[in-house]
Structure 1
Amino acid sequence: MEQLIARVKGMILSPAEEWRTIQREPVELVPLFTRYVMILAAIPAIAGMLLMMAFGLFFSAISSAIVGYILSVAGVFVIAKIIEVLAPNFGGPQDADAALKLAAFAPTVAWVAGAAIIIPILGGIIALAGGIYSLYTLYIGVPTVMRVPQEKALTFTLAVVGVAIVVNIAVRLLTGVFV
């Protein structure tokens, strides 16, 4: 738990330095997901569920939390694959491990800020700010982790975000789930 807290703190307070640390670390899929992604992705799901339950929407709250959580965790895999496939088009290597690191750690701030969702209106603004900051941390991590040249980092980040949005919309349309 100490490592998770230290990583979260690093991603919030000094993302460039944290990305350099992450870049040097080996990645193991199962520990990365069980000790980091699955824990942090649960934060906004649980907060949203509690808020909906406060308004008496028990079944909707539980189903929304479960679907949102599963999509968040699965989204890390999808984003990692998008990053891996797009990187060579922007001067970076097709590196599955590096792509997984970037996809798993970039949403850290969004997940943590998602705890604020439990507060009506203000919480949504805080969560949105966390999401925007996560996009910034993604951009900061691109040259370090994926070794994409700095001059192409913004374009690469925008391409990843654009493709991820299209994939997210497609998945939600196919599953009929807009939560």
Structure 2
Amino acid sequence: MSLAWLARRAGAMILRPARTWETVAPEPGGERQVLGRFVAPLAAIPAVCGALGTYLFGISFADVGVRPSLVSILSEAVVGYVLTLVGVWGLAWLVAAMGPLFGGLRERDQALKLVGYSGAAAWVAGAAHLYPNLALPVGLLAALWCAWTLYLGLPRLMRPDPERALTYFASILLAALAVGALRALAIARAAELGGPLQFS
């Protein structure tokens, strides 16, 4: 894996998404290229930073400080990281499966590129998890940018009927929310297995 390539591709997807999709569209895809070279290293940013931030500062709920156990923190980080990779793969499968319903392609590699590269802003913004109070606002802004990036890439990679492209996009967002909700439930369960919380 080339860190220089990773930095260039992530930066281009965040700063120049429309132009970058034109470059990405004809490239080879697949799990090794997208998941291995791009998603896996970037998804480690929020996992590692989240674990460090929670360990150093704890979590605040309604002005009450909560400090999870180290086992809970590590469990949450590992499970969250693995489920991010699984979630990207699963969402890409759904995007490809839905393609023909909207006059588009049923190309799993193209769908994997669309989903994987669209997440760049969220994973880079995961560095904000070093300070947990910043994680939510920064994460929301990054999620909006990811949605915009996906919207720009959808017609270039999946080629839906223009009249049905917006409905296709909305369906992908709903699927992404469902995948995200399942991931959050699994992470919460993993954190519970780490032991009781300490309040301060």
Give the structure-1-normalised TM-score: 0.90
What are the Cα deviations for residues 105-127 of structure 1, in whole angstroms up to 9, with x where unaligned? Answer: 11111111111122232332112
Question: Larger C-alpha radius of gyration, 1 or 2?
Answer: 2
Q: Distance in 2 between matches of 1:169 and 1:108?
A: 20
- Residues 175 and 107 (structure 1), Cα distance of their counterparts in 2 relative to 1, 3 Å cut: closer
Question: Does the residue aligned with 1:7 lie in a helix, a strand or coil?
Answer: helix
State which of 79, 85, 93 in structure 1 corresponds to 2:105: 93
CA contact 1:16–1:140 (8 Å) conserved in 2:
yes
Greater share of helix residues, 1 or 2? Answer: 1
How much does 1:81 deviate?
0.6
Segments of structure 2 that go 5 or more residues without pairing to the other structure are 59-66, 192-200
Letter aligned with residue 6 of structure 1? R
Corresponding position of 1:17 = 19
Structure 1 position 137 matched with structure 2 position 139:
no
Q: Distance in 2 between matches of 1:171 and 1:126?
A: 19
Corresponding position of 1:83 = 95
What are the Cα deviations for residues 66-114 of structure 1, in whole angstroms up to 9, with x where unaligned? Answer: 1110111111110111100111111101111111111111111111111
Greater share of strand residues, 1 or 2? Answer: 2
Length, aligned pairs only: 179
Letter aligned with residue 85 of structure 2? V
Matches within 5 A, 1:7-156: 7-54=9-56, 55=58, 56-57=67-68, 58-156=70-168
**Bigger shift: residues 82-91 or 152-161:** 152-161
- Residues 175 and 124 (structure 1), Cα distance of their counterparts in 2 relative to 1, 3 Å cut: closer
Question: Does the residue aligned with 2:101 lie in a helix, a strand or coil?
Answer: helix
Question: Does the residue aligned with 1:24 lie in a helix, a strand or coil?
Answer: coil
What are the Cα deviations for residues 122-172 of structure 1, in whole angstroms up to 9, with x where unaligned? Answer: 332112111110011111110001112344332211101212322443465
CA contact 1:90–1:149 (8 Å) conserved in 2:
yes
Letter aligned with residue 127 of structure 1? G
CA contact 2:21–2:156 (8 Å) conserved in 1:
yes
Give the structure-2-normalised TM-score: 0.81
Q: Give identity over the alignment, percent.
A: 36
Segments of structure 1 that go 5 or more residues without pairing to the other structure are none
Greater RCO structure (CA 8 Å; 6+ sep): 2
- Residues 30 and 139 (structure 1), Cα distance of their counterparts in 2 relative to 1, 3 Å cut: same
Q: Distance in 2 between matches of 1:174 and 1:10?
A: 32
